[in-house]
Each structure stands twice: as structure tokens, then as C-alpha cells.
């Protein structure tokens, strides 16, 4: 940020002084790894790993045909759906289930009265979960290690303190390879250092 001082003699308000009032460094990264750690960082979230298990009596309500009903887990198997009277419904007749995403879709109301309460029994495989916006702001140390493609010389950039901003977008459908764009602000550390760049001579 800069401060401009204008003269008042000529009437043209020309600049007579231009000085720096503050210095900031922004950090921008394109993450190609959609790991649970990167997603948690980008969306101020917490990550966890859940061991596969069996679920009994998970409750849902069917309001309309062709409505997507997401189970609490993904990569499911041995799915059994009962109506509110405890009568099993038939896959392919009453509903379909996407085993990979754990989404049930009712295709017929012949054996249910909408809206209908249902329970679902199933098993699920090991999976990772990220709960977004469940954590506050965090600081990270960021290190970039690269090579100049023209000279072949190595470079290392170390930012000892970086506060990441919440990612503005999460692109889920694209014609090209998707990356996760995150930005942040580099802060000064206890040694009055913001950035350390080491280059091969």
C-alpha cells in the first residue's frame, strides 16, 4: 500500500511524494491432490477416517418419487429398505440404490404412501469424511521446492507463517483436470522474516 502526497500550488494536484505505508505478501496455490487434509485446510474443516461397519435402522423419509435419498455413508452393500410398518421393500421394483455413492431413489409408490418413513440396514466400507467450516483459522508453514525449466537450477521458497483463506469455489464438474485453488496471507515471524528464497547459484 502506498501514500501519495499532492501539491496544491499549481491546481493540477501533481504528486510530490509517493511512499510505501505497508507491505503484504499473498500466497496462491493450485492443489491437484484432493486429499482429506487438503480439503480440510481449504474449507476450515476436520477430517476423519471411519472403519467400515454395519448400520441398522438408519431413518429417512421419502417425500416424492425420483428423490435422491443419501445414506450417511458411501460404498455400501447388503442394503435392505423397510417401510414404516417393518415390511421389506424390493430393490428394482420400489427403489434403486447406487452402491458407490450410497444414494437411494424410489421409483414406485405402489407399496408406500408418500410421504413415507423408511429404515435402511446396510454395511459400508472404510471411508474418509471432511466436515467443512467446523474449525477456525489455522497457520501453516509453506515450502515450495522446484526447478527452473530454462536453466535447470533448483529453487526453494519457505514461508514460515501462512494463514489460508477459505477456498472460494469447489469445482465438481469440468471438461478439464480439476484443481483446488487456495489463497492465503504470509505473516512475519519472530525473526522478522516473511519469506526465504534459496536459489542455486
Q: What phi and psi, each to the nearest 5 degrees, are found at residue 14?
A: -75, 155
Mean pLDDT for the chain overall: 95
pLDDT at residue 107 tops 90: yes
List % helix, strand, coil for the chain (3-state, nearest 5).
5, 50, 50
pLDDT-based confidence at residue 86 (cuts at 50, 70, 90): confident
Listed residue (27, 49, 4) closest to 187, CA to CA: 27
pLDDT at residue 87 greater than cutoff 90: no
pLDDT at 85 over 90: no
Q: Is the pLDDT of residue 28 over 90?
A: yes
In this structure, what DSSP letter does residue 165 have?
Answer: P
pLDDT in tens, 9-19: 999 999 999 99
Of 110, 64, 118, the closest CA to residue 87 belongs to: 118
Q: Give residue 75's pLDDT.
A: 98
Instruction: Find the length of the chain.
Output: 201
What pLDDT, on the 0 to 100 scale, is given for residue 84? 79
Query: Cα–Cα distances in Å, from 15 out to 3, 9, 46, 64, 109?
Result: 10, 11, 51, 68, 76
Share of the chain above pLDDT 90, in %: 92
- pLDDT tens-place string over residues 45-78: 999 999 999 999 999 999 999 999 999 999 999 9
Amino acid at each position: 500500500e502506498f501514500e501519495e502526497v499532492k501539491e496544491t500550488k499549481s491546481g493540477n494536484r501533481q504528486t510530490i511524494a509517493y511512499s510505501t505505508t505497508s507491505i503484504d505478501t499473498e500466497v496462491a496455490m493450485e492443489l491437484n491432490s484432493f486429499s482429506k487434509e487438503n480439503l480440510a485446510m481449504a474449507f476450515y474443516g476436520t477430517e476423519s477416517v471411519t472403519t467400515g461397519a454395519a448400520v441398522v435402522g438408519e431413518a429417512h423419509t421419502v417425500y416424492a418419487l425420483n428423490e435422491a435419498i443419501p445414506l450417511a455413508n458411501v460404498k455400501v452393500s447388503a442394503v435392505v429398505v423397510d417401510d414404516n410398518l417393518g415390511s421389506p421393500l424390493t430393490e428394482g421394483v420400489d427403489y434403486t440404490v447406487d452402491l458407490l455413492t450410497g444414494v437411494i431413489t424410489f421409483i414406485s409408490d405402489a407399496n408406500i404412501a408418500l410421504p413415507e418413513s423408511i429404515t435402511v440396514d446396510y454395511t459400508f466400507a472404510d471411508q474418509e469424511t471432511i466436515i467443512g467450516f467446523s474449525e477456525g483459522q489455522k497457520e501453516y508453514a509453506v515450502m515450495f521446492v522446484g526447478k527452473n525449466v530454462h536453466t535447470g537450477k533448483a529453487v526453494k521458497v519457505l514461508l514460515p507463517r501462512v494463514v489460508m483463506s477459505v477456498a472460494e469455489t469447489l469445482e465438481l464438474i469440468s471438461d478439464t483436470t480439476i484443481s483446488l485453488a487456495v489463497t492465503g496471507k504470509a505473516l512475519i515471524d519472530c525473526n522478522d522474516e516473511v519469506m526465504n528464497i534459496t536459489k542455486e547459484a
